[in-house]
Amino acid sequence: MADEAIFLLLHNEMVAGLYRAAEQGEGENGRCTTKLESMGFRVGQGLIERFTKDTARFKDELDIMKFICKDFWTTVFKKQIDNLRTNHQGIYVLQDNKFRLLTQISAGKQYLEHAPKYLAFTCGLIRGGLSNLGIKSIVTAEVSSMPACKFQVMIQKM
């Protein structure tokens, strides 16, 4: 869909632009991932406010995670999370077998070392969304073979 195309282009240019600026010495390299993650965080907070304006109250933490996996992921990435696992002690693993932001990069292991750059924003997105639902978390991502990836959410007890 056209609106997905412009988001994809904007996201990829944001990643490229930040790393370009870092190379030219306008900032340290390690900060790029942090910047992308915090941008995602702001967007996640804003989006979740809009999406949950009229929804019913969530029953519990698992209910919230299911919302993220189904409604939230569908609105943002036009598909649901393929697999959700949890240890029922605050750790959730969200698996997306065909992550929209990676499908154009490669199918397999080529460019694997660049994949984390394209996941930082989305990690922030999830963390921001959860934050505005009252959940503090740490979100990381791992890829072993594109375009499949896993997002790990660790709930922080406050």
Partner 1 sequence: NSELFTLTYGALVTQLCKDYENDEDVNKQLDKMGYNIGVRLIEDFLARSNVGRCHDFRETADVIAKVAFKMYLGITPSITNWSPGGDEFSLILENNPLVDFVELPDNHSSLIYSNLLCGVLRGALEMVQMAVDVKFVQDTLKGDSVTEIRMKFLRRIEDNLPAGEE
Residues that bind partner 1 (CB under 8 A): 2-3, 5-7, 9-11, 13-14, 16-17, 21, 26-27, 35, 38-40, 42-43, 46-47, 50, 75-76, 121
| Residue placing its CB nearer to partner 1 in the complex, 43 or 93 | 43
Residue 155 CB, shortest distance to partner 1, in Å, is 24
Tokens of 75: 């609105």
Q: In the sheet that 136-145 helps form, which strands lie side by side, from edge to edge?
A: 83-86, 91-96, 148-156, 136-145
CA 140 to chain centre: 9
| Residue placing its CB nearer to partner 1 in the complex, 128 or 147 | 128
| Residue placing its CB nearer to partner 1 in the complex, 3 or 113 | 3
For residue 91, the 8-state DSSP code is E
Residue 24 CB, shortest distance to partner 1, in Å, is 11
| Cβ neighbours around 82 below 10 Å, total | 14
Residue 127 CB, shortest distance to partner 1, in Å, is 13
| Residue placing its CB nearer to partner 1 in the complex, 38 or 80 | 38
Please provide residue 98's backbone torsions phi and psi, each rounded to the nearest 5 degrees: -140, 70
Residue 64 CB, shortest distance to partner 1, in Å, is 20
Tokens of 40: 């995602």
Tokens of 71: 């409604």
